[in-house]
Structure 1
Amino acid sequence: MRSGFAMILDAQPDITVVAEAGDGEAAVEAVRVHRPDVALLDIQMPGLDGIAATEAICSATATRVVILTTFDRDDYIYRALHAGASGFLLKDVRRDDLVHAVRVAHAGESLLAPVVTRRLIDDVVRRGLHPSAPPTGLDALTAREREVLVLLGRGLPNPEIAAALVVSEHTVKTHVSNVLSKLGLRDRVQAVICAYESGLIKPGAR
């Protein structure tokens, strides 16, 4: 399966596969050596599992991680995203969706549809699972940046945020960048988690 994914991705004109790894520790080392833009990791790997490998990679590099697994349980998704993953895909993902996922992760976008994002975070917050404290610095956000964070938390893409705020997509990109920078967040997925854990969005809110 790993070889199949590598062939699919390496066949794309804008993607180059720089390494493959058969276990978590080898994956972390490969990322350290090659510094890829994106790493695809399995949840279940020999030795260091995918979630631990994700945490190790995201804490030490700028590589974005996409989790591939046969599991679709909410707790796996949440643990992977909170470890720093930029997205979550099942192994039966279609070829085109796999390629799209790598490009989306590279661009810093979320790989979870809004409805999946809301269901996931609502469930996690209702059950009181808070692996880490929400980031400080919300008071550093402007009123508009707080609005953007709330809309990110609801899973809206940039065009819908722009429409909701009646601004250009370029302006939205600037606000999103400011939000991530001020709160020390890696990407939009972490912004979703932050919006809920900081109380800006309540469970069940739309």
Structure 2
Amino acid sequence: MTEPNRRATKRPPDLRPAAHHQRALNLALVALDAASVRARPTEMAHRLAEVAKCLQRMDDLRSADAYLERALVWVALIPAGAADAMRADLLCTQAELACHAADRHDEQVEALAEAGDEDLPAVPEARADRERVRDLATEAALLSGRGCDPMWEVKLLLRASDVLDRCGEHDGAVAMQNRAMALMGLMNPDTAAAPAIPPSRDALRVAGPSSLM
């Protein structure tokens, strides 16, 4: 028999990472459905990017990339000036996803080779991901110079530089690092190693006083 006054015990929440990420994804999808009713480009882009972020945390890289592609479609409907920063951020996130996918592919191939498995995944898949990283990161860096926040530009340049370096594009990575250093006033943009992507006028404006004399 149960005691009538006994308190009902609540089941403790499931705090496992997978369950936590699944709940976050479910909430992001609900928010996306609500935004779809209004169909406002900026809101839709944000909601799609949030779903992509949740999928990335669940290690579903291909699905995350597909949602980012949808977000970019909505960004294209936003006036150019306001859309540049959002597009640059999404492109950089796509570059990070592609870099992660290439690294994971290499790890799988290495593990199979060590196990003596002769049925190895195709190498061109990782190569294609790394080529895509280069294109995405370069476009993101170009767009970053159109923003009005130099510190945001620095963060994006460093993100782009990191994925390029991980993919073996060391010259491009160094060029972006130099541009970020010029923005922070740590390098004279006139004497830095000639970057493939020159600093924007805003970058030169916010460089330290000593670097402009």
TM-score range, shorter chain: 0.3 to 0.5
Where is the helix percentage greater, Structure 1 or Structure 2? 2
User: Higher relative contact order by CA 8 Å / sep ≥ 6: 1 or 2?
Assistant: 1
Q: Which structure: larger Rg?
A: 2
TM-score, normalised to structure 2's length? 0.31
Where is the strand percentage greater, Structure 1 or Structure 2? 1
